[in-house]
Amino acid sequence: MLAYVVRRTCFGALVVLGVLLFLFLLFFGVTSPDDIARRAIGDKAMPHVIEQWKKNHGYDKPRLPGPGHLTDNLLVEHYRRMLTFDFGKSDADNTPIVDRLKHGAVPSLCLTVPEFLLGLLLGIWSALVVALFRGTYIDKSTTILCVVLMSVPILLFIIGGQYLIGKQLRWFPISGWERGSSAMWRFLALPVIVGVLSGFGGTVRFYRTVFLDEVYRDYVRTARAKGAGDMRILLRHVLPNAMIPVLTAVVMEIPFLFTGSLLLEAAFGIPGLGSLTVDAINANDFATLRTMVFIGSLLFVAAQIMTDIGYTLVDPRVRLE
């Protein structure tokens, strides 16, 4: 078992290194340090100012290792900084990235965690109800509703939600953010509603399939023959056995809770980590971008390892390779 954990962790570390390399190649294939400098300083900058800026930010080195500068190049710098968690300052406005991370984590989590939990609870609850009433008109109508909801792009939910709830009904502010716990939930209500609604269709369909897979199994028929009630069967037999695929899906979502929902944050003006990433993409801010991707990949790899370990612990049929 330990060997397996070690092996998976090593593999995970390799993936993170691979991600860093891929990000580096991708970014510097598209832009150059000169571009980053110009975006940060402004277009009127004279060449010597650009050189100065590059020197200040450590971009005045060659990009890849080569003869004469095997360790003194951007790639090695890139790895060194990330692996020592030395995130440095943003290229666009010189603020320490760690500060931005701390500031952005709170709004992101306040948005993603309630949305995730609510979506999960609602999804599982609805799927259980549908499994309970399978075959009746509730099942049919819910299925149709789910397919329709899945066919509507999230953008329409956003636009429609802002128009209906923010503007016509005036229940919640259309967008924006205010720090402080009492005011926060007002700004979160609309994005959470939009997020849950747009994911509802897919979630319920997925869990419905999972639960129905279980419900049609022999042991359920046996339990019913023995006289157990429907509710009891669902909660005590079906749900625990269906937990494995549910858990897999849930655990794999956790990294994305931290990195924030890019679309919702951008559309609703919530200054979280997702918004930070979008701003960094638009402003060519490589320092911030690589930090976000690095953290995201770390979390993703960690979640994957945990899932795999959990899988082997829970299901003895899975062979350990």
Partner 1 sequence: MHPRSWPVRLLGIALCSLACTNNPYPNADDGKKVYYSSFSEPPRTLDPAVAYTTTEHEVTGAVFDTLLEYHYLKRPYELIPGLAVRVPVAEPLPEGRVRYTFELRPELRFQEDECFRRFGAAASREITADDVVFQVQRIADPQVNSPVVEPFSNLLGFSEFSARLAKLGKDDGTFSKLPARERYRRAGGIEGIKSLDARRLQLTLGAAYPQILYWFAMPFSTPVPWEAVEHYDGKEGRAPLQDHPVGSGAYLLSEYDRQARIVLSRNPNWYGLGHPEWTAPGAVFPSDGEPGDFGPGAIEPARKGLPLAQIVRAEYRREKEAIPAFTKFLQGYFDNSGIINESFDKVVRDDRLSDEMKSYGMRLDKSVEASIYYIGFNMEDPVVGTAAGERGRKLRQAMSLVVDTVEFLRLFANGRGVPAQTLLPPGLYGYDPARKNPYRALDLERAKALLAEAGYGDGIDPKTQRPLHLTFDTADTSPEGRQAVQFHVNNWRKLGIDVEIAATTYNKFQQKVRDGAYQLFQWGWVADYPDPENFLFLLWSEMARSKHNGPNTANFKHAEYDKLFLAMKSMENSPARLGIIQRMLAILEEERPWIEMYHREQYALYHGWFAGVKAAGLSVPTLKYQDLDPVVRRQKRADWNRPVLWPMYLLGLLLLLAAVPGVRSYLKERQ
Partner 2 sequence: MVSALTNSHHTSNVVVLLLVLGGLWLGWRVKRNEPWHDALADAFRRGPTAWCVLGLYVLVALADSVAWKGGVSAAAPDQVARFEAKSLLDRAVGGKTEKSYSAPLATREFARDRPLVRPGTHLLGTDKLGRDVLFVTLKGARVALLVGGFTSLIAIPLALLFGVLAGYFGKWIDDGVFFVMSTLASMPSVLLLVAMITALPRGTIWVCVALGVTSWVGFCRLARGETFKLRELDYVNAARALGASHARIIVRHILPNLLHLVLIRFVLLFSALVLSEAVLSWLNIGVDGSWGQMVAQAKNELSRDPIVWWNVAGATVGLVGLLLSINVVGDTIRDALDPRTRGDRA
Chain positions contacting partner 2, by CB under 8 A: 11, 14-16, 18-19, 22-23, 26-27, 29-30, 147-148, 150-156, 159, 163, 167, 216, 259, 262-263, 277-278, 281, 289, 292-293, 296-297, 300-301, 304
DSSP string, 115-178: HHHHHHHHHHHHHHHHHHTTTSHHHHHHHHHHHHHHHS-HHHHHHHHIIIIIIIS-SS-SS---
Among 22, 171, 216, 219, binds partner 1 (CB under 8 A): 171
CA 37 – CA 260 distance, rounded (Å): 27
Residue 138 or 299: which CB sits closer to partner 1? 138
Residue 14 or 314: which CB sits closer to partner 2? 14
Two tokens, residue 214: 């279980």
The verdict on 42 binding partner 1 (CB under 8 A) reads yes
The verdict on 271 binding partner 1 (CB under 8 A) reads yes
Q: Looking up tokens 């003895």, which residue turns up?
A: 316
Distances (CA, A) of 318 to 112, 307, 310, 313, 321: 32, 13, 11, 9, 9
Two tokens, residue 15: 């993936």
∠ CA 176-178-180 to the nearest 5 degrees? 155
Residue 123 or 271: which CB sits closer to partner 1? 271
The residue type at 141: S
Q: Of 6-14, 72-80, 163-171, 307-315, which part binds partner 1 (CB under 8 A)?
A: 163-171
Query: Is residue 263 within 8 Å of 154, Cβ to Cβ?
Result: yes
Picked from partner 1, partner 2, none, the partner binding residue 263 (CB below 5 to 8 A depending on kind) is partner 2
Q: Which residues lie closer than 8 Å to 296 by C-beta, 6 or more apart?
A: 255, 258, 259
Question: Could you tell me the smallest distance in angstroms from the CB atom of residue 187 to partner 1?
Answer: 7
Question: Exposure string (b/e) for 7-28, b if CB count within 10 Å is 16 or more?
Answer: ebeeebeeebeebbeebbeebb
Q: Of 1-9, 182-190, 241-249, 290-298, which part binds partner 1 (CB under 8 A)?
A: 182-190
Under rule CB under 8 A, how many of the chain's residues touch partner 1? Answer: 47
CA 225 – CA 256 distance, rounded (Å): 43
Among 46, 70, 225, 320, binds partner 1 (CB under 8 A): 46
Two tokens, residue 94: 């010189």
Residue 47 or 67: which CB sits closer to partner 1? 47
Residue 52 or 248: which CB sits closer to partner 2? 248
Per CB under 8 A, which of residues 47..106 are in contact with partner 1?
48-49, 52, 93-94
Residues that bind partner 1 (CB under 8 A): 31, 35, 38-39, 41-46, 48-49, 52, 93-94, 129, 132-133, 136-138, 162, 166-178, 180, 183, 186-187, 229-230, 266-267, 269, 271, 279, 284
